[in-house]
Structure 1
Amino acid sequence: MTLIAAWIGVDCKKSGGQISSIYFAADSRFSWGNTKSSPRYDEGMKVFCSLQHPYIFAYCGDVLFPLHTLERIIYKIDCGLFFEQTDYNFLKKLSSVRTEIESSLMNYPNPKPSFSILFASRESYYNFHLGEIKSDKGNISCEEIRLPNKSQIVYTGGSGKSNFKDVEEQLMRERNPNEGTSRFCFHCVAKTIKDYESPTVGGAPQLVGLYRKGNGIIFGIEYEGERYILGKRTNFMPKYLHIEWRNSNFERINPKTLKLQEGAQAQPF
């Protein structure tokens, strides 16, 4: 079980209302049961990206099958063994991901797992797409999720979905100045994890994304005074300066000092 959220950023000033980014965020808790005494692991990886191509993934529901299947898909993508290089059609790529999942699931023992997998890509400068592949005890469905032309949350899933909605509505009632921004969306994820920690949702937020240029991006996260990369707490190393770091308010920070990057603007929350 888990909490995952997806949102898009639309830059109205520079791109005239076209999508300029898409993000997947999640908590980091794997749990074995729904009680406070149930075993848990708070370093579980739930978001993924290709470092060679503009694709990102996330999942919720069952852990074992999506985790190892997505790892294999990304390895094959990065080695040039999955998508055709000349294929720019998102639906064909989504179908390829579905076929890989379906064929792997055929050899998986019963009972078949239930889960949702998100897949996002950028096919050209402003051409972003999002799709969902679902397994209901082995019955697979697949659809593209239409993206709006304004910054907003476009998907939430997992056992923390209702709590996330409560946080989102609370902040909107308070007339939050960041409403309709990526800062608002990520803050909702972090606040849900912190305020509604449950047997199935917890650990630190983790984040991947796509911009208008470049391949998948892994973000470092500062959460409650500690550094995390994909849910794993870590000490500072100079090489960490080569990736982007954000705090719970989605502010750009320096991973060494955990303070705002020089020139970064503090955001009111």
Structure 2
Amino acid sequence: MTLLISWLGVDSRKPASIYVASDSRISWPDGSIFDYGKKTFNCKNYPDVFGYCGDVLFPSVVLNQLVEIIDQGLLFQSEWNCEQKSQAFIDKFIALFNSYPNQKWIATDALEVIHCSRDESSNFFSRKIRWTKASKKWKAESVKFESYSDKLFVTGSGAKEFLMKYETYWESENKYTSRALFQCFCHTLADIQNKSCGGAPQLVGLYRIKNGKSFGIISQRQRFFQGMRVDNLTNFDSVEWRNELFERCSGDTTLRIEGAQSQPNPLLRDANGATP
């Protein structure tokens, strides 16, 4: 299963960003695990990002296909708003799902997909679709955006542990910030009791400008990209990196970029008052 969250980032003016974060673990009933599964997706030519939880095979295959179709300009019209793009995505995703062999190969009781988008006026959008074996139906859900940074959707088998920890973060000095959401996510993943969740964090998102972005993550002093460890690769600064504090970092050094804002986590201070 998965821990999958999305949240809206709001600055002093208005919504400035939107994100989807996930763990990277794929697990099997016999206890086997694979900690490098890709669960978040970004379009390079459109301001759209996605994440899934539940069954693995169907969404991982189909979301890769749909992102490529979107980037080639085959699914969205350039003048469409976020609602129109979302509906086109949902229609195509469900059409493909309906061709899956009686859904008998869906390994979990539910399948969920989060879609986040942005229009030309920098208005953000988020919607989740959910299918269950019990109902055999799809249901779409949207949430109202607050005037401050806050979670939008939290789902998957790790959701309960995240929400319990988030209550503490909500009372900290970092509340109403994007860093509180991501710090809570990473903190939950590090301490999680649900062993079907694990691996490195992975993150995609949108700013007010440009298209979907997949972030490199520095976790436990190691580099990960889309769930895969990439310490033995090169050209690290070709992507934007964040550490578990949500600080902007250099992919080459793994350290916070000079001049980048420090993002201390007050809930992880050691006996000397320092944060990792």
TM-score (structure 2 length as normaliser): 0.89
Structure 1 residue aligned with 2:88: 96
Residue-by-residue CA offset, 1:43-80 (whole Å, 9 max, x unaligned): 01111000111000001111111111111110100001
Structure 2 residue aligned with 1:32: 28
Instruction: Please give the residue correspondences for 1:158-169 in structure 2 after superposition, counting only pairs within 5 Å.
Output: 158-169=156-167
1:238/1:263 CA distance change after superposition, 3 Å: farther
148, 155, 160: which one aligns with 1:150: 148
Distance 1:83 1:265 in 2: 37
Preserved contact between residue 131 and residue 142 of structure 1 (Cα < 8 Å): yes
TM-score (structure 1 length as normaliser): 0.92
* Superposition CA RMSD, Å: 1.5
Residue 119 of structure 1 deviates from its aligned partner by 0.6
Count of aligned pairs: 259
Structure 2 residue aligned with 1:19: 15
Percent of matched pairs sharing the same residue: 36
Find runs of 4+ consecutive structure 1 residues off by over 3 angstroms: none
Distance 1:47 1:122 in 2: 17
- Secondary structure, aligned partner of 1:124: coil
Preserved contact between residue 130 and residue 146 of structure 1 (Cα < 8 Å): no
Residue-by-residue CA offset, 1:109-157 (whole Å, 9 max, x unaligned): 2326321101111012431011111111241122333222211111100
Residue 160 of structure 1 deviates from its aligned partner by 0.2
1:260/1:70 CA distance change after superposition, 3 Å: same
Preserved contact between residue 130 and residue 147 of structure 1 (Cα < 8 Å): no
Structure 2 residue aligned with 1:6: 6
Give the counterpart letter for 1:102 in structure 2: I
Residue 268 of structure 1 deviates from its aligned partner by 2.2
1:65/1:197 CA distance change after superposition, 3 Å: same
Structure 2 residue aligned with 1:131: 127
User: Does residue 1:200 correspond to 2:200, yes or no?
Assistant: no
Preserved contact between residue 122 and residue 209 of structure 2 (Cα < 8 Å): no
Residue 238 of structure 1 deviates from its aligned partner by 4.6
Between 164-173 and 203-212, report the one with greater CA deviation: 164-173
Give the counterpart letter for 2:83 in structure 1: L
226, 233, 237: which one aligns with 1:230: 226
Structure 1 residue aligned with 2:274: none
Give the counterpart letter for 1:41 in structure 2: F
109, 120, 129: which one aligns with 2:101: 109
Distance 2:87 2:57 in 1: 22
Structure 2 residue aligned with 1:253: 249
Residue 91 of structure 1 deviates from its aligned partner by 2.1
